[in-house]
Amino acid sequence: MTEQLANTKNAELVARRAEALDALDSVLPFDRRDFLADLLTDDDVATLRHLAKEGIGANSLRALASDLGYLEAWSLAATGFSLPWPAPEALLIKFVAHHLWDLAKRETDPVHGMPADVAATLKSQGLLRSDGPHAPNTVRRRLSSWSTLTKWRGLTGTFNAPGLQSAIRLAVRASARPRGRKSKKAVTADILAALLNTCAGDRLVDMRDRALLITAFASGGRRRSEIASLRFEQIVEEEPVPADPKVPDSSNMLPCLSIRLGRTKTTQADSDAFVLLVGRPVLALKGWLERAGIAEGAVFRGIDRWGNLETRALTPQAVNLILKRRVAEAGLDPAAFSAHGLRSGYLTETARRGIPLPEAMQQSQHRSVQQASNYYNDAERNLGRAARVLA
């Protein structure tokens, strides 16, 4: 009887947390609400709601909620308890040891790395996919989220402790996991053309996917979160521009739109940052907006199985799935591409066409020259003479 009462009470607590998370429905996907409600504590939910009220960006809040859910699940699996606040240094080091470890040592020492029972629990919850160590950047990001949430609770953590920093350096060196690209292959212009051919029809879903793909690419390789959150109010009609920039007085003019970016990963909400769409992308985007009758709110929305337009915006995950579906329809391998391939593909394509890096970065809105130049370097190496000395 006591166990039944405890189960009933726990179910009531989970239901109450789920209702509280409803206030974040614009940030957290509905299908994740109940899952997070089962993992998070009342204080966790209160912290997320407080962050939302403070105006933290939707993408940042979504990432914090996701990381917090993972951290709570790991803590329950590894220690049997929810996360303590603030976390002791020993728990932080345990987290590092469970996620960054040496594959070779694991072969001779089965208890090295994440314990099998912890891994099995996280896998059953759909939170762990790989049998190997995590990517160092993923571990650093989750520790950063952990630190951020600690500060927002008005507490002081030990995330800069020498012991923890030393453990991270040693673990990264031991894990020896090469950094992988977010998309194995870039969606360059030739691949984009193949994807656009799969949605060349006049169905509503074809027009949406065509406008989505070409807008994401041509606007500098916008991130999937930026495409998912794009609103009609961000689009501004501009004066037509010359088809050839070298002939400004030409009578051959192309339609032009600007997209005001607002808050993104690299810009603030009050920023004046914008990117331009010129020519064919403008026609595709305008055609979609007119066909869908969209004059306010989300630009890219869901379409149900009967072809009816929904009011809610696509999620970033949906943007990724749309690209993968079109990749498959084009006869390519969906596992080799993700939505980030549009971003890397844009920069790769500009490098191939000899467009100066600063000009490309103005459109892509990369802050780091080093990061943006990586795509240029790859393109130049593939097309250059250095690797062809003995060809």
Q: What is the pTM of this model?
A: 0.59
Q: Are strands 309-313 and 301-303 parallel, antiparallel or unpaired?
A: antiparallel
Give the integer Cα–Cα distance in Å for 300 and 280. 18
Report pLDDT for 30. Answer: 46
Q: Angle CA(373)–CA(57)–CA(24) in degrees, nearest 5? A: 140
Report long-range pairs for 32-37 (Cβ below 8 Å, ≥24 apart).
32/69, 35/69, 35/125, 36/65, 36/69
Phi, psi at residue 182, to the nearest 5°? Answer: -65, -30
Nearest-angstrom CA–CA distance, 354 and 360:
10
How much is the pLDDT for 383? 57
The CB-side HSE value for 112 (13 A sphere, CA atoms) comes to 16
Per-residue model confidence (pLDDT) at position 389: 54
Q: What is the pLDDT of residue 95?
A: 95
Helical segments of the chain, H only: 2-21, 30-39, 42-53, 58-79, 89-99, 103-108, 116-124, 136-152, 162-175, 189-198, 204-218, 224-228, 280-292, 316-329, 340-352, 357-364, 369-383
Q: DSSP label at 23?
A: G
Burial of 241 (0-12, 13-18, 19+ CB in 10 A): middle
Structure token digits, residue 301: 């929305």
Residue 151 to residue 147: CA distance in whole angstroms: 6
Q: Along the chain (391 residues), what's the average pLDDT of each consecutive run of 10 residues? A: 50 54 51 65 79 75 86 94 93 93 82 91 88 86 92 90 86 64 78 95 95 94 90 93 81 90 54 84 96 94 91 90 95 90 87 80 76 60 56 57
What local confidence, expressed as pLDDT, does residue 289 receive? 96
3-state secondary structure of 381: helix
Contact in structure between 252 and 242 (CB atoms under 8 Å): yes
Q: What is the pLDDT of residue 79?
A: 95
